[in-house]
Amino acid sequence: MDFAEPEEHRALRAAVAGIAAKFGPRYYAERAAARRPCTELWQALGDAGFIGVNIPEEYGGGGGGLTELALVCEEIAAAGTPLLLLLVSAAISAEMISDFGTDEQRGTWLPGLASGAVKVVFAITEPDAGSNTLRISTTAQREGAGEVGGDDWVLRGTKYYISGVDEAEAILVVARTGQDERGGQLSLFIVPTDAPGLDKHLLPVDLLLPERQFTLHFDDVRVGPGALVGKEGEGFRQVFHGLNPERITGAALAVGIARYALGAAARYAAGRKVWSEPLGAHQGVAHPLAKAKIETELAALMIRQAAWQHDHGLPAGESSNMAKYAAAEAAIAAVDAAIQAHGGNGLASEYGLMPYWGLARLLRIAPVNREMILNYVAQHSLGLPRSY
Ligand SMILES: Cc1cc2nc3c(=O)[nH]c(=O)nc-3n(C[C@H](O)[C@H](O)[C@H](O)COP(=O)(O)OP(=O)(O)OC[C@H]3O[C@@H](n4cnc5c(N)ncnc54)[C@H](O)[C@@H]3O)c2cc1C
């Protein structure tokens, strides 16, 4: 076992950090406050080949894996510029199209995803089926010219909290195409964001995030046979394959946020004196930061294991869940300790910590919530009875 990071990974980290640093936390905070996407940063990373680092070279990508994409996510967040859509467009959508798409779908979508010119967001969550994916009620039915059983697919239903629809060319939609004893048989479809019958409504959230969320109504949205990704009815297995990349990159984003917050807090606590010593000399200030630093490094190790397993085609569910749990908790602890160390300044726009607190807090809920991870570990790692 070799814990030394390969030279090419260190170079990747440095190059990504260099680009992100040109934008920096001020840029991120301003975009978050205005709810405007960080388009220039996305494009700069795309131009340098980092958005598509995990996409096969034949489609213009970097030919790497989740290990490399996780490094990109971590470094942009550590520079104070976390990009939420990397988790959906680069991690889930690109991985699923790459692994399960037809040659035509790969040729259509992967070059744009690799260059950063195109985003494909991901829609699974529904008002009546959040954590319980098998309960989704959005349907896709085969229809011809107005008749059941034709070649087209017609989608009906509602999704909500879908991030980045306003920035994306298409949405990878999870829909029900049948029913078995476990619940819905799921399938995946690529639906253009301008498809007739697709209604998009802004869903306001009180997080300071550049990416906006939407409620989507599919009102007889018709797509051709080429919109189905992978096999009909295999969506559940495919989605679970795609959720590991989302968890790994979500964890990497969280580790980057923690690194950013701890760096800001350490600088502040070393510099500010309100008694005879700097604030950081007080253990009440230093210990929460040190504890969060330990938790962050532990989470980072688990991310490396999860990404390595995924990239080697090994089962990565347990490690991806554990990495995501550990990283989200570490990020919340780090940002919270950083805010506390800043005192009143921790809440000031000038110090810009609150956007990271909101994002870290989101990462405890999404892409998978803390409790569903604990359920997974209790059941699959410990062999305890399923509780739900
Ligand atoms: C800002 C934002 C962006 C998002 N972006 C996207 C996106 O791009 N695409 C997308 O599809 N979705 C997106 N989501 C949705 C997100 O993935 C869901 O909110 C998340 O999966 C949890 O689902 P839910 O909100 O329906 O919670 P619910 O399923 O209603 O659960 C609520 C809470 O109950 C607890 N809980 C639930 N089930 C159990 C159980 N069995 N045992 C113990 N506790 C349980 C958990 O604490 C959970 O947090 C986004 C959400 C937000 C807020």
Residue located nearest, by CA, to atom 18 of ligand 1: 366
Question: Cα torsion at 342, 348, 352, 356 (round to 10°)?
Answer: 80
Residues 160-179 pLDDT 10s: 999 999 999 999 999 999 88
Is there a contact between 126 and 138 (Cβ–Cβ < 8 Å)?
yes
| Residue 367 CA, ligand 1 centroid: distance in Å | 7
pLDDT of residue 146: 59
**Predicted pLDDT of residue 213:** 98
CB atoms within 10 A of CB 387: 9
Distance CA 8, CA 93 (A): 25
Question: Alpha-carbon distance 257 to 88, whole Å?
Answer: 18
Cα-flanking dihedrals φ and ψ of residue 14, to 5°?
Answer: -65, -40
Please compute the mean of the pLDDT values over residues 268-283 and round it to a whole number: 96
Give the pLDDT confidence of 129-165 residue by residue, as tens digits: 988 888 899 999 998 765 666 789 999 999 999 999 9
CA distance linking residue 157 with residue 175, whole number of Å: 9
Please give the pLDDT value at position 242. Answer: 82
Catalogue the E-assigned strands of the chain. 120-123, 139-143, 152-163, 170-180, 183-192, 198-202, 213-223, 228-229
pLDDT at 184 over 90: no
Instruction: Evaluate if residue 29 carries a pLDDT over 90.
Output: yes
Structure-token match 């999870």, residue found: 174
Share of the chain above pLDDT 90, in %: 90
Q: Of 387, 237, 388, 263, which Cα lies nearest the Cα of 317?
A: 237
State the distance from the centre of ligand 1 to the C-alpha of 95, rounded, in angstroms: 22
pLDDT digit string (tens) for 102-112? 999 999 999 99
Give DSSP secondary structure letters for 60-79. Answer: TS----HHHHHHHHHHHHHT
Could you tell me the distance, in angstroms and rounded to a whole number, from the CA of residue 129 to the centre of ligand 1?
9
**Mean pLDDT estimate for the chain:** 95
Q: What φ, ψ does residue 342 adopt, rounded to 5°?
A: -85, -5
- Per-residue pLDDT tens over the stretch 322-366: 999 999 999 999 999 999 999 999 999 999 999 999 999 999 999
Helical ranges in 176-316 per DSSP H:
235-271, 283-311
Residues lining ligand 1, Cβ inside 6 A: 88, 121-125, 130-131, 161-163, 205, 207, 213, 362, 365-367, 369, 371-372, 375, 388
Task: Average the pLDDT over 38-52 and give the result.
Answer: 97
Ligand 1 pocket, mutate which of 371, 377, 384 (most atoms under 8 A from CB): 371
* pLDDT at residue 149, as a whole number: 65
pLDDT digits (tens, 9 = 90+) for 76-96: 999 999 999 999 999 999 999
Q: What are phi and psi for residue 235, nearest 5 degrees? A: -60, -35
Q: To the nearest whole percent, how much of the chain has pLDDT over 70?
A: 99
**CA-CA distance, 311 to 320, in Å (whole number)?**
12
Q: Which residues of 90-111 are buried (b: 16+ CB within 10 A; e: fewer)?
A: bbbbbbbbbebbeeebbebbbb
When pLDDT is averaged across residues 308-321 and rounded to a whole number, the result is 96
Say what the pTM is: 0.96
| pLDDT given for residue 236 in this prediction | 84
Task: State the pLDDT at residue 147.
Answer: 65
177 φ, ψ to 5°? -120, 5
The answer to whether residues 254 and 363 touch, using CB atoms and an 8 Å cutoff, is yes
Q: What distance in Å separates the CA atoms of residue 287 and residue 176, rounded to the nearest whole number?
A: 49
Query: Which tens digit of pLDDT belongs to each residue from 221-250?
Result: 999 999 999 999 988 888 888 889 999 999
Mean pLDDT of 282-304: 98
281 in helix, strand or coil?
helix
Atom 7 (ligand 1) nearest CA: 162
Look at residue 180 and tell me whether its pLDDT is greater than 90: no
